[in-house]
Amino acid sequence: MNTKSYFFQSFAIVALAFVAFIGFKQILPDKIFSESKIDSKNILIDSMLLESVAKDSLSLKSDSIEESERKLGEEKIVYDASEGIEFPSETFDNYKGYQYLISFYEKLYQLEKNPQGNVRIAYYGDSMTDGDLIVQDVRANYQERFGGNGVGFVSITSESAASRGSVKSLYSKNWKMQSYLNVRRPSSPFGVNGHVFFANDKANATWVQYEAGPNKNSTSLDNPTLFYGRSSKRGNVNFVIGKDTLRKSLIPNNLVNTLKVTSGSIKAFKANFIHADSIPIYGFNFDNGKGVHVDNFSQRGNSGLPISAFDASVMQAFNTNLKYDLIILHYGTNVLNYGTKNYFWYERGMKKTVNKIKESFPGVSILIISTADKSTKYDLEMKTDSAVVPLMKAQKRYALETESGFVNLYTLMGGDGSMVKWVDESPARANKDYTHFNQRGAKAIGKLLYDQLNKGYEQYKALRENREVVTDKRKTAKKANTDSVSVKKDSVYD
């Protein structure tokens, strides 16, 4: 047998086995003798993550990573003034990057001065924010202070629809959905939520129904508006509101189109799509147009990498309507499960994600939230997983390199061993999988995130007001000098 041929055949078998292992690992428990039973029925696999791990997980030696971290640790992060504002310098260890959130903070400042204004946040995440967990609490904190009603943008269907309390939704089972997690080339571009839906069942009715939830500031569906895409054919949608039915036309001429269900606020409605099989449907937005609104774009199994596949022109069209001021990327849960502590491949991929966001939403502030603590069993004892800190540092590096704000959720919740404490305390704030927070814990995390962002905002206000004082003093001094010169000129002719 040809030795070279045999070698390449063997190498191919090993490579295929590695990729297969990664795929099967998604449907196997993290530990063969797990202490808790995990329901994996709805786990999705991020195809871009699988490919990145297979190709690049061994592309950088650990000593190169350590050298990079050592250099970062020695460097002082000094900011250039933006709009006359310069935050204090930082180190890599305490990096928060408030400097890169200035445009977001300025919008909050203007909203505080004028409550009729509005600020919008897109919160992208994985199973940590499933069912609006954490996000609904960030939303509640902002709306409590700055005003605003509504849950924001809601997809047509969702695997967490039944468990989401901030808005109730039901839908027919014949929707055809394509997700950016596992489809590279959708038949129509993905929406801002990473999905596109089609009502292409001509034999049966295709519908979705929404009802306001009990959460404060979300007890009504405010200005319900449908978002849909471009198509060569028109369609219709019937909105059933109580005993009334409103028949409206879908005119899909633009990349992104909107259709208001009704003005003002309602409690519930049902949308029946008719002859709309070729029209891409994205979802509905609910907000009262003033205050702060936070959209939850969570997706189980997501690493954040699929966002790099967004169509920038379509995102810009969404942004024309929704006008985002802050994009949050909260990932890490699904990146910890691949037996590596080298996250250079992930860091590189997420830079592409951030750059796509910058292209899609020009001028928007970006915030990176790191992985939380996660525990794994070592020698019969639950301890912080050895991959948590390397991943957190990789996330901090790409946040710094892309000029994004950063929240170190790992240290914010307590650092080493904190997940064990959150699980074991009474009442518990995290689940027995030692990975996800329960509702009580999610509320605490939401408050921690809001508090860090608000701390930066309060610093921004102080810096801004100090800048105004300095500017006023300069204007006064300049005027005094001008008046003095004028007096001297006049005295010559006395």
Given this model, what pLDDT does residue 203 score? 87
Instruction: Tell me whether residue 88 is in a domain.
Output: yes
DSSP letters spanning 46-58 = -HHHHHHHHHHTT
The three-state secondary structure class of 295 is: strand
User: What SS3 class is residue 171?
Assistant: strand
- What is the predicted pLDDT for the residue at 468? 78
Q: Give pLDDT, residue 237.
A: 97
DSSP string of 426-482, one letter each residue: SS-SB-TTSS-B-HHHHHHHHHHHHHHHHHHHHHHHHHHHHHHHHHHHHHHHHHHHH
In a domain, 494, yes or no: no
Sign of CA dihedral 81, 83, 87, 91: negative
CA–CA distance from 449 to each of 118, 210, 308, 443, 444 (Å)? 20, 29, 25, 10, 9
Tell me if 13 is assigned to some domain: no
Long-range pairs of 409-412 with CB within 8 A, sequence gap ≥ 24: 409/330, 409/369, 409/370, 409/371, 409/372, 409/445, 409/448, 409/449, 410/370, 410/371, 410/372, 410/373, 412/448, 412/449, 412/452
Rounded distance between C-alpha atoms, residue 220 and residue 75, angstroms: 50
Q: For residues 347 and 353, what is the distance between their CA atoms, to the nearest angstrom? A: 10
- For 479, half-sphere exposure in the C-beta direction (CA atoms, 13 angstrom radius) is 6
What DSSP character marks residue 81?
A: P
CA neighbours closer than 13 Å in the CB half-sphere of residue 186: 25
The DSSP secondary-structure symbol of 165 reads S
- Total number of domains constituting the chain: 1
Task: Please give the pLDDT value at position 98.
Answer: 98
HSE-CB at 480 with a 13 A cutoff on CA atoms is 6
- Digitized pLDDT (tens) for each residue of the chain, 494 residues in all: 444 444 445 444 444 454 444 444 443 444 333 333 334 344 455 766 766 665 655 455 555 666 666 666 668 999 999 989 999 999 999 999 999 999 999 999 999 999 999 999 999 999 999 999 999 999 999 999 999 999 999 999 998 898 899 999 999 999 999 999 989 889 999 999 999 999 988 889 999 999 999 999 999 999 999 999 999 999 999 999 999 999 999 999 999 999 999 999 999 999 999 999 999 999 999 999 999 999 999 999 999 999 999 999 999 999 999 999 999 999 999 898 766 788 999 999 999 999 999 999 999 999 999 999 999 999 989 999 999 999 999 999 999 999 999 999 999 999 999 999 999 999 999 999 999 999 999 999 999 999 999 999 999 999 999 887 766 566 666 666 666 656 555 655 55
Q: Is 493 a domain residue?
A: no
Q: In this structure, is residue 47 part of a structural domain? A: yes
Task: Check residue 37 and give its pLDDT.
Answer: 38
The residue segments making up the domain with residue 298 are 31-488
Q: Does any domain span residue 469?
A: yes
Buried b (16+ CB within 10 A) or exposed e, 357-389: bbebbeebbbbbbbbbbbbbeeeeebebbebbb
Which residues, in sequence order, are CB contacts of 182 under 8 Å at separation 6+?
Answer: 44, 45, 46, 47
Helix, strand, coil: what percent of the chain each, to 5?
Answer: 40, 20, 40
Q: What is the pLDDT of residue 19?
A: 45
> In whole angstroms, what separates CA 193 from the centre of its chain?
10
- Look-up of token digits 């500031």: 217
In the block, residue with structure tokens 């001509």: 202
In a domain, 26, yes or no: no
Contacts of 425 (CB under 8 A, 6+ apart): none
Beta carbons of 129 and 123 less than 8 angstroms apart:
yes
Distance CA 116, CA 132 (A): 26
Give domain status of residue 138, yes or no: yes
CATH of the domain at 138: 3.40.50.1110
